[in-house]
Amino acid sequence: MPFANMSGDPQQEYFADGIVEEIITALSRVRWLFVIARNSSFTYKGQAIAVKQVGRELGVRYVLEGSVRKAGVRVRITAQLIDTMNGAHVWADRFDGALVDVFDHEDRVASSVVGVIEPALQAAETIRSAGRPTNDLTAYDLYLRAYAMLWSSARQSLEALRLMEQAIERDPHYGPALAWAAYCRYRLLVDDPSEHRGANALKGADFAWRALEVAADDPGVLVNAAQALAYFGEDIGAMMALADRALALNPNFARGWLVSGTLRLWAGQPDIAIEHAEASLRLSPRVRIGTSLLVIGAAHFASRRFGEAVPKLLLAIQEDPGFPLAYRVLAACYAHMGRLQKGQEIVERLRAITSVVIHDASFLRNVEQRELYLSGLRLAAGEAT
């Protein structure tokens, strides 16, 4: 659950959220644990909700809650593990120390929780592969600020990229920052393909390859780099293999399942794309960790199941009104259904968020599916086919 920010400064909220993100990541690496994605658990932020209700709604046995207090160069993390079946406190502890030791505190929280749930498991084994992506606290702080922006609004990709690049300047081997910077470059191209396409692709690919060089066993790095590189034109089979590797490392990785589904969609495997996107939704049932509904809707469209595609695409737009791709697929879908006026209306809504309606769709490797998409989009936009 989101930890309370006890620092007395609302501007430190991102820091407390970042602590929880790291603990979730460490817990998710334990294969036998089913760990709900951060974005779903964070829908309860700021709410006073009974743990039994959380258990029912998320389908979990235990809830980890706590607080973070950051004061100068000191930090205190308190945590308690609660059984959602009876509300009993299973474990509680407090971790005090210097800010420079914050990564050790995060690992100690995660290992303590696992040790309580399964005493036979050695704590060192639960976090053995987690590692620490950087020892530079300023780089870490910049990364957390950028990460919070990425999830708050898709339109903040440019500002998030700026902060990620600042983190990379401080630590050129900061794998997660490199991978998210590559993702930001990819999103800039999706949102406005006319804006410096060549430069964004080159810089994004460079960030992705550098990320893979320094953090090849980090599932988050693997999927972000794979998605960006696939969009930039790298071999789709190799990128799907990277996503598979990420899921082998962490089967509970909701975003990993989503990216895997996205890559399957781009590769022309719509049914597998739906299966993987739905796995992502099961792990993050309350809120998006990306574009799962868009992937499912677009996969139905690629299979010419237009009637099934429309409701998913409408929900995808409702979920993220600033993401152009959902509008493009929906407009194409309406056009192929013979509902041209609806398609034209969607194109008008699309023009309100980007000047580009018809874009480079080479990321769709299946020629027939790519032409289905582009022909529908051209028809809805009133352009000659």
Packed helices 137-152 and 157-170: angle between N→C axes, nearest 10 degrees: 170
Query: What is the largest distance, in Å, between two alpha-carbon atoms of the chain?
Result: 67
Q: List Cα–Cα distances, 293 to 69, 288, 296, in angstroms.
A: 37, 9, 5
Q: Poorest-confidence range of 38-47, 345-354, 363-372?
A: 38-47
User: Lowest-pLDDT range, 50-54, 197-201, 300-304?
Assistant: 197-201
| pLDDT confidence band for 167 (50 / 70 / 90) | very high
Are 245 and 216 within 8 A, CB to CB? no
In the predicted structure, residue 194 carries a pLDDT above the cut 70 = no
Residue 266 has pLDDT above 70, yes or no: yes
As a residue count, the chain comes to: 385
Q: How far apart are CA 54 and CA 56, in angstroms?
A: 5
Query: How confident is residue 104, by pLDDT bands cut at 50, 70 and 90?
Result: confident
Q: Is residue 4 pLDDT above 90, yes or no?
A: no
What are the backbone dihedrals phi and psi of residue 70, each rounded to the nearest 5 degrees, phi first? -110, 120
> What is the average per-residue pLDDT within 19-30?
78
| Residue closest to 36 by CA, chosen among 55, 57, 58, 56 | 58
Tell me the sheet residues that pair with 82.
63, 89
Q: Residue 46, exposed/middle/buried by CB under 10 A (0-12, 13-18, 19+)?
A: exposed
Q: What is the pLDDT of residue 123?
A: 34
Residue of 2 and 215 predicted with greater confidence = 2
pLDDT exceeds cutoff 60 at 134: yes
State the DSSP code for 226: H
| Model pLDDT, residue 152 | 62
Q: Residue written as tokens 């990128």?
A: 239
pLDDT of residue 128: 36
Which whole number is the average pLDDT over 88-114?
73
Q: What are phi and psi of 289, to 5 degrees?
A: -120, 25
The H-assigned helical ranges of 122-156 are: 123-127, 137-152
Cβ atoms of 155 and 190 within 8 Å: the answer is: no
Listed ranges 61-70, 116-125, 248-257, 272-281; the one with the highest mean pLDDT? 272-281
Pairwise CA distance, residues 49 & 337, whole Å? 44
Mean pLDDT computed over every residue of the chain: 84
What does the pLDDT read at residue 125? 33
The pLDDT value recorded for residue 315 is 93
**What pLDDT, on the 0 to 100 scale, is given for residue 26?**
75
Distance, in Å, from the CA atom of 131 to the CA atom of 249, rounded to the nearest integer, reads 13
| Highest mean pLDDT (candidates 92-106, 140-154, 180-194, 250-264) | 250-264
* Residue 193: per-residue pLDDT: 59
Higher pLDDT, 229 or 108: 229
pLDDT the model gives residue 94? 81
Tokens representing 309 are 């595609």
pLDDT per residue as tens digits for the range 292-307:
999 999 999 999 999 9
Model pTM above 0.75: no
Q: In which element (H, E) is residue 90 found?
A: strand 89-98
Both structure tokens of 369: 């599916």
pLDDT at 124 over 50: no
100: its two tokens:
């420079």
The per-residue pLDDT for 308 is 97
| Single-letter amino acid, residue 332 | A
Which of 38, 96, 2, 116 lies closest to 286, judged by CA?
38
Q: What's the count of helices (H) and strands (E) in the chain, helices before strands?
A: 18, 4
- Terminal C-alpha separation, the chain: 51
pLDDT of res. 119: 42
The full set of domains in the chain, from first to last, is 4-127 (3.40.50.10610), 135-245 (1.25.40.10), 252-385 (1.25.40.10)
Within 8 A by CB and 6+ apart from 25, the residues are: 130, 220
pLDDT (0 to 100) of residue 376: 97
Amino acid at 1: M
In percent, how much of the chain has pLDDT > 70? 87
